[in-house]
Amino acid sequence: MSKLSLQTGGDTHIVVKRRFAASPEKVYRAHIEPALIRKWMLGPEGWDMPVCINEAKPGGKIRYEWSDGKGNGFYLTGEFIELEPNRRIVHVERMHLPDVTPDNHVETIFEKDGDGTLMTMRMTLPNSEVREQMLATGMADGMEQSYARLDAMD
């Protein structure tokens, strides 16, 4: 069992759970302080985040720009809706690839769990068609992998 749990729920939700060996205060800070965010929210190896704007207050702006250092890049914009320090972040975000993806509403909850933190991130997409589209977007990229697995199955 991997440390990360990722499940779809209902028609429009994706729920991610992960435990961290640090207090909710620290995990919360690592989600809102640009100097910390830029150290970890990077996706694949070899990418970095030259721009990280995070105005952690209701209505505050979010803008993350990623670059692979070879001229490839994409960015994310969003707005904070609600913040409960050390406990909960609610925001909305969208990717620019450069085509803009539909809004993804994200609620992230940090709960004390023994000497660590259980983080639950619940993403809500506008409707089931959008989630279906997002899943379909990944099909082209995942296809090579899927076919390889299919070959291995028979």
Cβ atoms of 89 and 108 closer than 8 Å: yes
Burial of 148 (C-beta count, 10 Å sphere; 0-12/13-18/19+): exposed
Helix residue ranges, H only, 1-154: 24-32, 34-40, 128-153
Kindly state whether residue 130 participates in binding other proteins, applying the rule CB under 8 A. Answer: no
Size of the residue set binding other proteins (CB under 8 A): 47
Site for other proteins in 19-78 (CB under 8 A): 20-23, 25-27, 29-30, 33, 36, 39-45
Q: Is the peptide bond before 98 cis (omega within 30 degrees of 0)?
A: yes
Q: Which of 58, 69, 84, 128 binds other proteins (CB under 8 A)?
A: 128
- Report the residue number, 23 or 77, with the smaller CB distance to other proteins: 23
Pick the piece of the chain touching other proteins (CB under 8 A) from 52-60, 71-79, 98-106, 133-141. 133-141
- Report the residue number, 99 or 141, with the smaller CB distance to other proteins: 141
